[in-house]
Structure 1
Amino acid sequence: MTTSWVPGADASGFGADNLPYGVFSRRGADPRVGVRIGGHVLDLAGLLGDREFFAASLNPFMARGSTTWRATRAKVSGMLVGEGSRAEAEPHLVPLDEVVLLPPFEVADYVDFYCSLEHASNVGRMFRPDEEPLKPNWRHLPVGYHGRAGSVVPSGTDIVRPAGQRGTVDGPVFGPSTRLDIEAEIGFVVGTRTSPGRTVPVADFAEHVFGVVLVNDWSARDIQAWEYAPLGPFLGKSFATSVSQWVVPLDALGAARFAGREQEPEPFAYLRRVADWGLDIALEVRLNGEVVSRPPFAAMYWTGDQMLAHLTSNGAPLRTGDLYASGTVSGGRPDQRGSLLELTWGGTEPLRLGDGSARTFLQDGDTVSVTATAPGMAGGTIDLGEVVGTVLPAV
């Protein structure tokens, strides 16, 4: 087992086999890049001196490519494990309570997929009870839509209840959403760009994707339902998407990898898996501090390499900082559903909380957090951090 000399790191979920990247500042100082180790941030700018770490985002470092990512990770991990580098590295450890965490990367484009078989089937059963739950295309391609990069916000940002048009029995009205929801997801952060017209095969997934973040894709279900036809999600989705402030490198997830879920029918050649990129990540959703769901990312039908291959299959270019999310993560049990839409079955089965209150959808003042863990390369568990947001009244 990898043992770090940093006090408490090994048991924290943020040991030397994790080392997620983030951006931080100290009072009166410029932003810089660091990695989390236990209850500290290791200041990479001060330790390594590379200009990419004297930056307000991870983008300059991510743009350097996978060879640099892996070499840097190996060097930093070795310095945090071997006593021989302790004297060099220890002065650059900063306690977490002395830093302000900043958005970890500049989002170039944002795409949200719809890759959970259980989630898609649940939604189909609720809204199309007289039809097959899945549309004919669903098992042939990862369904997705383009979101707004400018509405992606870091964990801790308050979420103002959106207003919009929604349908009623008396016709459409305009006003605050009454069916505000969450979607617990995993997001993939693109590091290296491609030129227009180039496709990315599934085999090149790890050459372009730097790491993963936790995502809460806030959704106004009533606005979404009215505007959805015929072009799909728009204002019901574009007001806010929250992401965690630590980007976990793909290499930290080696022990979480497995072949992925069986797919039938066999996908087209460009979507056929050539490596194990199913990920055994266990998510947990809390509403006002109470656990309401434990969605398993291992149950996802389409995997991250397939999402990337499909995203670029028409020649659409990648840019450093592109973010694409998995869509709601849901499992086969009722307590594994990653949205209130499913947990309350469209609002018909209110969720009972421990304080005696009930929810169909979010109320003003509610706080939602999504956390996750995965098997670590050293035999323990790594922590993927947290994405949290509190609902404020409509303005």
Structure 2
Amino acid sequence: MLPVDLPDTVREALSAPLVDQHCHGVRRDDLTRAPFETLISTGGLPAPPGTTHFDTPLGAAIRRWCAPVLDLEPHVAPTVYLARRAELGADEVNRRLLGAAGALTFLVDTGVESGELLSAAELGRFGSAVADEIIRIEQIEQDVAEVAEAALDYVDSLAEELTARAVGAVGMKTVVAHRCGLGFDPSRPARGSVLAAANRRLSEPKEPVTDPILLRHLLWTAVDVARERGLPLQVHAGFGAGGAGPHLADPSRLTGFIRALQPMGVPVVLLHCYPYHRQAAHLADVHPHVHVDVGPALTRGAAGAWRAMDELLELAPFHKQLFGSGCAGVAETCHLGAFFFRRSLGGALKTRLDAGEWSTADAARVAHMIGSGNARRVYRL
């Protein structure tokens, strides 16, 4: 639902098909209430006894804006919503909600591989869209660590596997914020220290990598591959990246690493970012290779999403902003990501139009750039 009295050209630009430059797979199976609630929670944990995750901005938005897509009245009770979901079945629910997002292309982080989740190709098929892959470098490291027999084999295989996997991808992604935070030493680690750390790593290969030396080596190896193939590097920051502590996910901590990458010409896309989206916007303003989205902050903020969007427009260059739903777990997050993006951007544009700050042509152009044009350029779609 876009703001009223928007010029037709702006409304058309906001309603145009989107490039969702950051999303994940959604569950393919029918979900009972407990797992559904866990999937719509930020922490991935059950609600405290006597409470529900439907009593959140996202839960209220599901009941208001997803219910009609499933032929229900707005604001139905959670039990009614989930009963209708079960009645339709997972395939139909996914088809309706993914299709309602109005995406032309999904760029799918395939780092969380599970038979319970739709693959990138299936996500595209259910959403009537093209789907391309973003490879998660920590998952590739995990695969290499589990089969490497020695430190030298680990180091060589890591470069080879990243190169091989990048062939079919349009971008690379790191979740280093989850593993050690973003304030790591930005320099390349010495080969000797990498081999020593690899020996320690191979003693527990099934555990997630958290060694800062290996994470730095992984990042720089990925950067070399990205530069060779002309791929951007997505960096998860801010919202949802609290594995090492949310204060360590502030993207401004990446400043040294970002500066080191600038001469190499590797685009950096800062994902999520909220509540540090102002810092991310500053980095995008200062550094020519840095881009930004606020991802699921729009979905999680729901009716309050316009604040984050408005603040991003205050500082980040318009050609540096990208739409990404951050969709994960359930298809509702894909539909709502697109819905609140369009609505919050529309509100921000209307404010500027009403104040006479922007022309109608400016507003339509910005809507097109953020919704799809910038992603097409950055990812060479």
Query: Scaled by the length of structure 2, what TM-score is found?
Result: 0.25
Per residue, is there more strand in 1 or in 2?
1
